[in-house]
Amino acid sequence: MDSSVLLIPIILGIILVLLIVVLFFSVAACLWRKGTRGLHHLASSFPATETPEGATFSRQTVMIDGVRYRNCTKVVIAREGLSLSVSLLVPGISGGSAVIPWERIIASEEEQDGWTRAVRLTVSAEPPVSITLPATVVRAFPETMNGRIAQQD
């Protein structure tokens, strides 16, 4: 048997491994780049030292400045404000957490997000931050906030 025939599967195997490594690092770079927006920006503006106590909604899908965190966000409606924390499955990339004081949530607009009703909030920060939460979560907001939330039925 010719030795060049035996080299073909080895070369193809090496190419496959290299493609998998390149794909892994490409995905990691995209996730890291997304971290420079979204919750990362909120966490730097409104850092959370610990998660406050309050009504907790786990595994929520939340969008922060165009970055969608699917089924990995814990939302806590606390006296101190709106607490958001993300748990990512990628090791070494922190999801971050933030507690936004209620007075910094300045506007809202109800919208349809796929099959669910959602509310887009605007947070007073530099620059302003947009957060989209499921409407079921927003209904648990304190009475003082509910007066500022545009209700559209």
As averages over each run of 10 residues, the pLDDT of the chain (153 residues) reads 74 92 79 64 86 91 88 90 82 74 87 83 88 90 62 41
Strands (E), 12-153: 54-64, 67-78, 82-86, 97-100, 105-113, 116-123, 129-134
34-49-132 Cα angle (round to 5): 40
How many Å is the maximal CA-CA distance in the chain?
81
Q: Is-above-0.75 flag for pTM?
A: no
Tokens 């909120």 -> residue = 42
Of residues 72, 71, 45, the one with CA closest to residue 129: 45
Give per-residue pLDDT as tens, 64-83: 988 888 888 899 999 889 99
